[in-house]
Structure 1
């Protein structure tokens, strides 16, 4: 079905926003640290128009559902499911003092849901970009990630950090986004691997990815308690890791802190290597990141651990889980000519362990949210 089939008129325009993979820097964003994501070529697309009505109506190609809501439905949690992310964007824009008129949306997407590739942020940022353009709203691109994040945190009730919405909004083709999650300063780091004969292979483990499970919130709360115990604004401010670990009251908290502090440093080290063109040398940092997520942050599952092990055994220069954890995707830095062989090796390892067959693709750093037509 097309927008015209659903709404009886052509759309005013078409907007889209990408999913993302995080090259490195996991669970550092809500600790006011550093992250290094890049946008995927997989995108959520929104056809939209602005009718003379105070209602918002959204149709999803994926579910076939149509959901309508009005101003009275904008209390957090009032609109549930996938449409809650759309309502959340309207709510957040209004909370920011912007006059958001009614709209009609038709949403389609090739960003896999539940795979840790930030399908929710892609939906939020596509809708946000459409609403800003349709209404001529005064909202510079640099401020849009915060509005989109507020939709997810304040309306949907998922306590994500700022990384996903920043990547979906601000990324540039051929670059990774070096983001300081405290200051929101960004730097676009060249990340075109073709000249080096390399690729980033993304393997979808098909293990369900569940951000709304309590484990994510528990990790965040533990980090906040640790920072408070250390008398620091955030774990980003730890300067002496050994002293910090010695001052903390329990082993679980110490492991969580060790991951965050060492992961921040791995981001900085990765950026330093990329700035000097030493792309292949980031591989061990990716692998160390995975070990830290597995052993200290305890957010991996057997599928992603096996995927990393199999990719490395098949010749990947480095590999790690990407995303919030408890399922989702693995990325591997591979020789471009060997990408399919590495993916096949992971599939064979999955079959040997009785796991659901994975899917894989080569990820190319792509453009953030924009109007397509």
Structure 2
């Protein structure tokens, strides 16, 4: 939200229409990566890094969008929505507008300026922040009266229908339903959720960004999804009632272990264990047992590395390095894997000293700059002015 004055000034330098200003956050996921597309359990939350929007209707059919941080703009007729060939960021916005039009919502031309401190391609859901921020903004300036569930549906369909992304509801849910200082305990099977209070005034989540950028259409990600579908097909030969890996217990999996191709069994085992790990971690949060929660973060990383095989040397180095510091309770790779961020649960003592030490070690090992973000849990997308 520190970008409000900058975005406001830019908006009124560019446009004459009256603006509404809002903020759309990024998100972390504490535990449960790759369980979402298996109808499993996850623990996401919005963070205090995000995108500030200035948006106003201009009473024409023309849409004018300025990406402040890139100094790039697009202009088009709202009745002629076509994918951009050279501006990927624009397509996430275009997909939302397309979905509004498909739904028959009465929207017209508008002006938009956006920018913020949320890094792109770092696994913090910057694309979702774009989608949800615009959906929320269009709802407000055209007085459509949409609910959070409506925005959830619109942005998810924009992902699928316009962008061709095979993602679940998790990122949008975290963006739209987060509450400050609470983790969302989310069941991806039916979207049942609880807000678990943190009360962690003496802790922060530190994100170590490897600077290895993630591809939303990663072939490795799609291969993991396919492996889970293959696993369900195999399991159903012996346990017909299993519809997703969420339906499979560790005990049942163990009984058919020898019936499965070993690499497929390992991936299946990780998903089943991770779902159980999230369930147990929710009890840790309720009890404020951060030592136990931290151990589960390390266990999660080990499974992602050894069984699901979505880690990389940079991520593994950072997680192993984190074990050298008493003020780090736990750490793991976060998101798809193969790059992006390591998330660490850090007690707020000597934090800057620890971060600088890790940066130096990373630079020495890989010859690359490491960026670190100290994040708090924030509220969902909301109006700010």
Q: TM-score range by the shorter chain?
A: over 0.9
Structure 1, 166-175 or 346-355: larger mean CA deviation: 346-355
Local SS of the residue matching 1:184: coil
| TM-score, normalising length: structure 2 | 0.90
The offset of 1:139, in angstroms, is: 2.3
CA distance in 2, matches of 1:79, 1:353: 35
| Counterpart pick for 1:215 among 204, 215, 220 | 220
Structure 1, 96-105 or 198-207: larger mean CA deviation: 96-105
The offset of 1:77, in angstroms, is: 7.3
For residues 226-276 of structure 1, give each alpha carbon's deviation from its aligned partner in whole angstroms, at most 9, with x where no partner exists.
22332332211112221354443x233222211211111111111111112
Partner of 2:232: 227
Partner of 1:48: 55
- When the two structures are aligned, how many residues end up with a matched partner? 369
Q: Tell whether 2:31 aligns with 1:24.
A: yes
| Counterpart pick for 2:185 among 163, 178, 184 | 178
Q: Tell whether 2:151 aligns with 1:144.
A: yes
CA separation of 1:79 and 1:101: change in aligned 2, threshold 3 A: farther
Aligned pairs (5 A) from 1:1-373: 2-7=10-15, 9-71=16-78, 73-74=80-81, 81-194=88-201, 197-231=202-236, 232-239=242-249, 240-248=252-260, 250-315=261-326, 316-373=328-385
CA separation of 1:75 and 1:244: change in aligned 2, threshold 3 A: farther
CA separation of 1:254 and 1:357: change in aligned 2, threshold 3 A: same
For residues 298-344 of structure 1, give each alpha carbon's deviation from its aligned partner in whole angstroms, at most 9, with x where no partner exists.
11111111111111122322110112211111111122103223322
Structure 1, 113-122 or 54-63: larger mean CA deviation: 54-63
CA distance in 1, matches of 2:168, 2:246: 14
Q: Which runs of 4+ in 1 moved over 4 A?
A: 75-80
CA distance in 2, matches of 1:192, 1:129: 29
Local SS of the residue matching 1:313: coil
Partner of 2:4: none
CA distance in 2, matches of 1:213, 1:76: 20
CA separation of 1:245 and 1:361: change in aligned 2, threshold 3 A: same
CA RMSD, 1 decimal:
2.0
| TM-score, normalising length: structure 1 | 0.93
- Unpaired runs of 5+ residues, structure 1, are none
Local SS of the residue matching 1:188: strand
CA distance in 2, matches of 1:51, 1:81: 25
CA separation of 1:38 and 1:78: change in aligned 2, threshold 3 A: same
The offset of 1:76, in angstroms, is: 6.7
CA distance in 2, matches of 1:69, 1:158: 24
The offset of 1:31, in angstroms, is: 1.2
Structure 1, 200-209 or 18-27: larger mean CA deviation: 200-209
The offset of 1:97, in angstroms, is: 4.2
The offset of 1:367, in angstroms, is: 0.8
CA distance in 1, matches of 2:256, 2:360: 43
CA separation of 1:307 and 1:72: change in aligned 2, threshold 3 A: same
The offset of 1:48, in angstroms, is: 0.3
Local SS of the residue matching 1:24: coil
CA distance in 2, matches of 1:342, 1:241: 41
